[in-house]
């Protein structure tokens, strides 16, 4: 069997005495789109935070391309190739849209802590930044301060910063929340395009988006995965229907 892009082995996480994540095993294949669904408070965002190093794992292991990344710092994990977006918009408010996206790109284009490269002269870097800006529909907002953007533009910027790194594993946390119908469609198209040669993990409440995009879906309830399969079989799964989906999708 191929090495999964992201793998969780028996992962547990407590906050105080409360068990939030209770023994998760999950393998996400390379170059697929995996959706994580479940009711509010099921632990979806917590899993994101554990994978990307924001929280420490209490027990278990997390692997990226077969290499252990358990409890490394967020920047180490990001450098190894996981880039994530946030459910609550997390951008650089007093910098322009262009600067925001470029910040997402700098490390991954090897600039590191350089204080001798003049940014204005980095043609390739700036060209790629413009490119991401066009793809995420932000080109007309190029020099607007991120803090002044409309909510949906901030959501688009959130995704743009995440994509800028060019990482192999992209994890989006409710990318379409707060977007209009039209904006959601655009974002789904963008995600589909981006995901072509990448592994994509997505947490999403819009079931239309989930069943449209995902190759595999895992269903999380009370910190446990109760089902993990292809969309057709998730739809027919009795346990999933009872616990979460109800009659909504079936």
Please say which residue, 148 or 250, places its beta carbon nearer to another protein: 148
Please say which residue, 89 or 186, places its beta carbon nearer to another protein: 89
Please say which residue, 1 or 115, places its beta carbon nearer to another protein: 115
User: How many CA atoms within 13 Å lie on the side-chain side of 99?
Assistant: 11
Nearest-approach distance from CB 95 to another protein, in angstroms: 6
Nearest-approach distance from CB 250 to another protein, in angstroms: 37
Distance of CA 243 to the CA centre of its chain: 25
Please say which residue, 60 or 74, places its beta carbon nearer to another protein: 74
Nearest-approach distance from CB 185 to another protein, in angstroms: 25
Nearest-approach distance from CB 126 to another protein, in angstroms: 12
Nearest-approach distance from CB 140 to another protein, in angstroms: 11
Please say which residue, 3 or 114, places its beta carbon nearer to another protein: 114
Rounded (10°) CA dihedral 81, 87, 90, 96: 90
Task: State phi, psi for 75 to the nearest 5 degrees.
Answer: -70, -30
Please say which residue, 24 or 161, places its beta carbon nearer to another protein: 161
H or E stretch covering 203: strand 199-203
Nearest-approach distance from CB 169 to another protein, in angstroms: 13
In which residue are the tokens 């350089």 written?
Answer: 114
Task: State phi, psi for 86 to the nearest 5 degrees.
Answer: -120, 150
Q: Read off the DSSP letter of residue 196.
A: G
Contact set with another protein (CB under 8 A): 52-53, 73-75, 78-79, 83-84, 86, 90-95, 99, 102-104, 106-108, 111-120, 161, 164-165
* Residue 107 near residue 114, CB atoms below 8 Å: no
H or E stretch covering 143: none
* Residue 61 near residue 38, CB atoms below 8 Å: no
* Residue 36 near residue 218, CB atoms below 8 Å: yes
Say if residue 37 is exposed, middle or buried (CB neighbours under 10 Å; 0-12, 13-18, 19+). Answer: buried
């Amino acid at each position: 069997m191929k090495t999964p892009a992201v793998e969780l082995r028996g992962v547990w996480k407590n906050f105080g005495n409360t068990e939030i994540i209770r023994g998760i095993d999950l393998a996400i294949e390379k170059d697929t789109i995996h959706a994580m669904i479940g009711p509010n408070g099921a632990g979806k965002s917590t899993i994101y935070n554990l994978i990307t190093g924001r929280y420490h794992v209490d027990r278990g292991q997390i692997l990226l391309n077969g290499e252990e990344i358990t409890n490394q710092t967020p920047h180490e994990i990001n450098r190894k190739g996981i880039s994530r977006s946030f459910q609550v918009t997390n951008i650089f408010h007093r910098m322009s849209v262009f600067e925001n996206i470029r910040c997402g790109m700098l490390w991954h284009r090897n600039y590191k802590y350089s204080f001798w490269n003049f940014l204005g002269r980095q043609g390739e870097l700036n060209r790629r930044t413009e490119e991401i800006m066009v793809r995420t529909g932000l080109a007309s907002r190029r020099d607007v301060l991120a803090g002044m953007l409309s909510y949906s533009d901030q959501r688009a910027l959130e995704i743009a910063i995440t994509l800028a790194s060019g990482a192999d594993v992209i994890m989006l946390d409710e990318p379409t929340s707060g977007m209009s119908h039209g904006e959601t469609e655009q974002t789904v198209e963008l995600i589909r395009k981006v995901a072509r040669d990448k592994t994509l993990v997505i947490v999403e409440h819009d079931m239309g988006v989930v069943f449209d995009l995902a190759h595999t879906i895992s269903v999380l309830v009370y910190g446990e995965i109760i089902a993990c399969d292809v969309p057709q079989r998730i739809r027919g799964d009795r346990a999933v229907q009872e616990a979460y989906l109800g009659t909504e999708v079936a």
